[in-house]
Structure 1
């Protein structure tokens, strides 16, 4: 008769061999118990909206209201200035005239019917000064690139919890500082650089949640994160539109950043990360904490049989010793660069079709929300490979067909949005795929580096959008072709659906071998 050990009021099989962390989550703690559900809500209700707050607020406070680049009376030789009425004029002499003329010529007429006063209009960063707003965007993107590289290192070195607290706190401080530095250009750029630095801070808590849930719930975390970012991006532009005050908008979105650090203090550090560093004492402590919330009490017998691989801090350079994993990582990184190019390029292309930025941003975000819901269901039922291949195929078809449709036609807009829907599905699935294929020991660094390299695709898309070789639809044809190339690349990668997360570089290097061997064994002999 099989022996059982009684723990709390639950019967567990007698431990007879070493257990992996996935074994303990699956057999004893639960793959999606109360703790994992609360962690998911933390990601969806707090982390995701604040990611949207960061990136979208940056865009909204730097909008450029319609204006004329020729200032009124700037070239006039008459020393007459109106007092605001149509028929009256006031005459001045000497220093009074010089002072008033200089003050008047520094003001520009902006049309605030749609776009409210922003940092750009307040500081006159338009026309001959338009470079200042562009530099602010460049600095934000440069900060984002550096942040994606450094934050991953911080997460893998110091832990998911302290890195999350640090990043969201920096976002709150930098956001609020933007208000007081608005009229000091150098300080404004510094604040924008820090906001960009932590713009992708949400990947750290996402990795934390992914490391605690079962394999069948990982897509819920990643797609839920992207879905709620989309919901935020639908609503925030209209909040800004009705507030009509960039300072109030900035205070609202920046002060909210401090909510996440306060909640994160209550979350145990990733047991998977602790164990990957050989810290079994704190790793077991985290597992007991999770089990207690899930209503389970883990015995010492279970935890003492936790498998030890004598892991130590791993240099990311060791990746080059594992050729198979290096090949997978290189391919998925190249795919991410192409996905970023297609997605960001599609946004740039669509931007010229609408004079209402709030409407455009909301429509694009609504498409993203629908795509996030769809990609979660499809990727969990048909696998990551099939989902990416089919979504890339339909992106290719959409962006190829659009070349034969007049740009003034409503069908052009419809096909353009359909193409965005499919590329967003690809983007969402590939966002999760990197976390599934990278080992725990370097997961945050690998995911963050991959995100940072995606900036290459975003930068390239800006140049591609201006290409007009065979018509105005040339950029979309290029994006469609790139999507077709992604199909070929995806066929070279293993399926990750329902597979355990790799812990070490050796695990990652051997990822998918069992499935491949099974396929080859099932092939009939010639």
Structure 2
């Protein structure tokens, strides 16, 4: 890659790149806020249903109303004048069809979207569907803004995404009804994908190969910091509208990015904007203390011709599943993307189910992100496949074990859930790197794109999984436990990529010994594979 040689000359991770990563990492905190704020704004406080014929009574529920009831009893209507707590709630006159409203406990939350729009009992599914629609916004944003960024550049999409995110995020705080709230959150979800995806790409395209893994982990740390910080902000702001405003309004401060965020020189080169790209390269070299002199521009000029070295054959997503071994590996990786995000957000968005203080649990789950992402830096160098398999197994087993812990032992359930979150977070960090090494160069971007779409599909389904509680209280955790274990088994059928050369073509995947034996003649390399014309190999493998 000629541009990588340019980066080596001007500094692959010098002062210019470090400053760039400051600008890239700051929005990650607010992206975490928007991704996880529904844990608090959509929380369901303890509640009891009032009967229609008791609404005329004056005085309200009174301070003695008891919200400590068993699961499934919160939708039972009761007569407000009957507050004799010596009787079980089920002995009060009740009729689930005569409910005219609900009384909510204000012990933890002053208000949530649930208390404002009565999203409980027969309307409870709306809350989960709203979360799924937000996640669907992430999926739409990934597809839409990915294509727009390839056409118009990473910088303009990041700036647009931050501006729209701030405007619509503030708009959510003033939503007049649940449906407008969901629509605005959908748009916010689209912008989260726009920023998080293109910020990563912009940083990657300016960073030398030796530091790309470390630089990617740095952005994950800031997302984890936002995860932790949200617990403190939500603890201080107990009203959902004020909380939404608190996490969205600071987004307008990113207006100064117009002056400090650079374009991608690699993208400019690919789009034949050579002079602008060379000006940026010259500026980056100067900031890094490695100014270019006249004889260095031959190196930069060689980057202009990189597009001439592309494979003449056009590849598409169909090539991911056209040949046997490529098909097997692609489908397994797509499942790993799906299951990692499914369980990650399944655990992250429903922390109230574990029985401990919701703010403390949020902070603990955020703290777990740090060591989980750090440990992958050490395990990946030993084995990609075993690392992926082990962390999936840890996450799945921990989730499964929670179903055997009684509800009154909430601390033990939270500890197991924390272990599950640790495993899945580490696995999620690995799957991106692993995928980039399994997919060959000619279809790598298509493979990563399809994997990302499968991941977003997992995010859409994650909130819906919790509707299985209507069947069994433990059903969601059974799903979150079994799915990673299946993924761990499937990982055994993937190749080991640590310390191996990256595959460049589909032939390198179908005949793995091609890459490992450079000394052999071209005939010997393919003697154990079907006789084929490399330019049309995909069709012959089908």
Q: CA deviation at 1:495?
A: 4.0
Q: CA deviation at 1:243?
A: 1.9
Partner of residue 24, structure 2: 43
Mark the CA change 1:226 to 1:470 in structure 2 (over 3 Å): closer, same or farther.
Answer: closer
Mark the CA change 1:137 to 1:289 in structure 2 (over 3 Å): closer, same or farther.
Answer: same
Q: For 1:481, which of 472, 485, 499 is the aligned residue?
A: 485
Q: For 1:66, which of 46, 49, 71 is the aligned residue?
A: 46
Deviations 1:111-148 (A, max 9, x none): 11112312332233334444543443232122222112
Partner of residue 34, structure 2: 54
* Counterpart secondary structure, 2:339: helix
Deviations 1:241-260 (A, max 9, x none): 22223233222211222344
* Counterpart secondary structure, 2:58: strand
Alignment length, in residue pairs? 473
Mark the CA change 1:486 to 1:161 in structure 2 (over 3 Å): closer, same or farther.
Answer: farther
Unaligned runs of 5+ in 1: 1-18, 87-104
Unaligned runs of 5+ in 2: 64-98, 521-542
Alignment pair present for 1:151 and 2:149:
no
Partner of residue 250, structure 1: 244
> In 2, Cα distance between the equivalents of 1:355 and 1:214?
44
Question: What is the 5 A alignment of 1:352-367?
Answer: 352-354=353-355, 356-367=357-368
Mark the CA change 1:275 to 1:473 in structure 2 (over 3 Å): closer, same or farther.
Answer: closer
Mark the CA change 1:418 to 1:165 in structure 2 (over 3 Å): closer, same or farther.
Answer: same
Mark the CA change 1:480 to 1:165 in structure 2 (over 3 Å): closer, same or farther.
Answer: closer
> In 1, Cα distance between the equivalents of 2:199 and 2:392?
28
Q: CA deviation at 1:174?
A: 0.6
Q: Is the 8 A contact 2:36 2:349 kept in 1?
A: no
Partner of residue 421, structure 1: 422
Q: Is the 8 A contact 1:142 1:193 kept in 2?
A: yes
Partner of residue 182, structure 2: 189
Deviations 1:6-44 (A, max 9, x none): xxxxxxxxxxxxx71111212x11111111111222233
Of 28-37 and 460-469, more deviation after overlay is shown by: 460-469
Question: What is the 5 A alignment of 1:215-364?
Answer: 215-263=209-257, 265-298=259-292, 299-306=296-303, 307-310=305-308, 318-321=316-319, 327=327, 329-347=330-348, 351-354=352-355, 356-364=357-365
Mark the CA change 1:364 to 1:469 in structure 2 (over 3 Å): closer, same or farther.
Answer: closer
* Counterpart secondary structure, 1:109: strand
Q: For 1:109, which of 92, 103, 112 is the aligned residue?
A: 103
Mark the CA change 1:80 to 1:243 in structure 2 (over 3 Å): closer, same or farther.
Answer: closer
Q: CA deviation at 1:425?
A: 0.8
> In 2, Cα distance between the equivalents of 1:185 and 1:402?
33
Partner of residue 391, structure 1: 391
Mark the CA change 1:30 to 1:512 in structure 2 (over 3 Å): closer, same or farther.
Answer: farther
> In 2, Cα distance between the equivalents of 1:442 and 1:522?
26
Deviations 1:421-461 (A, max 9, x none): 12211111223445667799987776454223223334555
Q: Is the 8 A contact 1:69 1:127 kept in 2?
A: no
Mark the CA change 1:344 to 1:289 in structure 2 (over 3 Å): closer, same or farther.
Answer: same
Mark the CA change 1:128 to 1:478 in structure 2 (over 3 Å): closer, same or farther.
Answer: closer
> In 2, Cα distance between the equivalents of 1:85 and 1:411?
35
Q: Is the 8 A contact 1:268 1:289 kept in 2?
A: no
Q: For 1:81, which of 17, 37, 58 is the aligned residue?
A: 58
Of 153-162 and 454-463, more deviation after overlay is shown by: 454-463
Q: For 2:2, which of 20, 23, 28 is the aligned residue?
A: 20
Q: CA deviation at 1:59?
A: 3.4
Of 349-358 and 404-413, more deviation after overlay is shown by: 404-413
Q: Is the 8 A contact 2:133 2:460 kept in 1?
A: no
Mark the CA change 1:401 to 1:368 in structure 2 (over 3 Å): closer, same or farther.
Answer: same
What CA RMSD, in Å, does the superposition of the two structures yield over aligned residues?
4.1
* Counterpart secondary structure, 1:494: coil
Q: Is the 8 A contact 1:433 1:496 kept in 2?
A: no
> In 1, Cα distance between the equivalents of 2:46 and 2:221?
32
Q: CA deviation at 1:488?
A: 1.7
Deviations 1:58-87 (A, max 9, x none): 43222222221225xx3139x65348999x
> In 2, Cα distance between the equivalents of 1:269 and 1:472?
44
Partner of residue 163, structure 1: 157
Mark the CA change 1:494 to 1:413 in structure 2 (over 3 Å): closer, same or farther.
Answer: same
Of 429-438 and 513-522, more deviation after overlay is shown by: 513-522
Q: CA deviation at 1:281?
A: 2.9
Mark the CA change 1:172 to 1:515 in structure 2 (over 3 Å): closer, same or farther.
Answer: same
Q: Is the 8 A contact 2:50 2:103 kept in 1?
A: no
Q: Is the 8 A contact 2:285 2:291 kept in 1?
A: yes
> In 2, Cα distance between the equivalents of 1:156 and 1:441?
17
> In 2, Cα distance between the equivalents of 1:296 and 1:126?
62
Of 296-305 and 461-470, more deviation after overlay is shown by: 461-470
